[in-house]
Amino acid sequence: MTESVKKLVSILRDSSRIVFFGGAGISTASGIPDFRSANGIFSQKLRRNVTPEQAVSHSFFAYNTEEFYDFYKKHLVYPQAKPNDCHTALVKLEQMGKLSAVVTQNIDGLHQAAGSQVVYELHGSVHRNYCQRCHAFYDADYVLKEEGIPLCEKCGGIIKPDVVLYEEGLSDAVVSGAIGAISTADTMIVGGTSLVVYPAAGLLQYFRGKHLVLINKSETQADSQAELVIHEDISQIMKEAVDALEEERNEE
């Protein structure tokens, strides 16, 4: 066990209200690539190449809906993805009574699939889709199997994923819940995120607790503020640390 992991175990041992704040790097071990690695598309209507950010913007959804769904289904929905060691480690921390909440920028629903009970999804979820006209609910499977633009079976309206697109604001209720959890946490673990996506990254300013831990393969703008910084694979680090803590508790 490295000194960094030993330090993380010590912090976990000392904590009782941990909040985990995660980004795309959490899901890469589950086979979900970072969204920014996705290639754009050639828009037939616009006759030009469209970046990933433009392809999942509110305006592109509104005016180029079929092309939006073509990109969305290929690059944002991964129905075969399963929770990895990081997701499992967080569930164990919650079951130990140490983790109070997960705040995630991811839209894959893997934290809930693993068993986490308190999850604030800042950018929504691909597993929730609603008719824009009558608000009927549809799951991800329905959207994926529909060719072209998925339409409501009840009223024929266009279905929209419950995902925060570019140009859209975050849910006030979700943000409020996340701020409440972060502001009362004694430890905050930030993992798998480069902290460049706002306003989500700005939530760190509400942390007033004792321990700030950053686990990310590359450097972030908040590294200098953290008590512990680990530039390694987060799924491996979290598994090793939580397994060690679990072993300690079992020996008591």
Three-state secondary structure string covering 25-81: HHCHHHCCCCHHHCCCEEECCCCEEECHHHHCEHHHHHHCHHHHHHHHHHHCCCCCC
Q: In which domain, by residue range, is 52 found?
A: 35-75
Q: Which tens digit of pLDDT belongs to each residue from 106-127? A: 999 999 999 999 999 999 999 9
Q: Are 88 and 114 in contact (CB under 8 A)?
A: yes
Instruction: Tell me how many domains the chain contains.
Output: 3
Assess whether 16 and 90 both reside in one domain.
yes
Is residue 123 annotated as a catalytic residue, yes or no? yes
Q: In the prediction, which pLDDT does 44 show?
A: 63
Q: Got the DSSP string for 174-227? A: HHHHHHHHHHT-SEEEEES--S-STTGGGGGGG--SSEEEEE-SS--TTGGG-S
Q: How many CA atoms lie within 13 A of 251 on its CB side?
A: 6
Parts of the chain with a pLDDT under 70: 37-38, 40-47, 252
Assess whether 16 and 113 both reside in one domain.
yes
Q: Which tens digit of pLDDT belongs to each residue from 80-110? A: 999 999 999 999 999 999 999 999 999 999 9
Nearest partner of 122 among 82, 176, 54, judged by Cα: 176
Last residue of one domain, picked from the residues 13, 44, 75:
75
Q: In the prediction, which pLDDT does 45 show?
A: 65
Q: In the prediction, which pLDDT does 42 show?
A: 64
Q: How far apart are the first and last CA of the chain?
A: 20
Count each helix (H run) and each strand (E run) in the chain, helices first.
9, 11
Q: Strand pairing partners for 138?
A: 129
Assess whether 131 and 190 both reside in one domain.
no
Q: In the prediction, which pLDDT does 49 show?
A: 86
Given the residues 123, 127, 211, 231, the one annotated as active site: 123
Assess whether 9 and 71 both reside in one domain.
no
- pTM attached to this predicted model: 0.93
Q: Are 123 and 143 in contact (CB under 8 A)?
A: no
Assess whether 135 and 212 both reside in one domain.
no
Q: Are 188 and 213 in contact (CB under 8 A)?
A: yes
Assess whether 39 and 67 both reside in one domain.
yes
Assess whether 111 and 232 both reside in one domain.
yes
Last residue of one domain, picked from the residues 109, 135, 163:
163
Last residue of one domain, picked from the residues 136, 163, 190:
163
C-alpha separations of 235 from 12, 54, 85, 162 in Å: 16, 30, 5, 27
Assess whether 100 and 202 both reside in one domain.
yes
Assess whether 112 and 232 both reside in one domain.
yes
Q: Which CATH number covers residue 92?
A: 3.40.50.1220
Q: In the prediction, which pLDDT does 189 show?
A: 98
Assess whether 204 and 105 both reside in one domain.
yes
Q: In the prediction, which pLDDT does 110 show?
A: 98
Rounded to whole angstroms, the Cα distance separating 74 from 116 reads 27
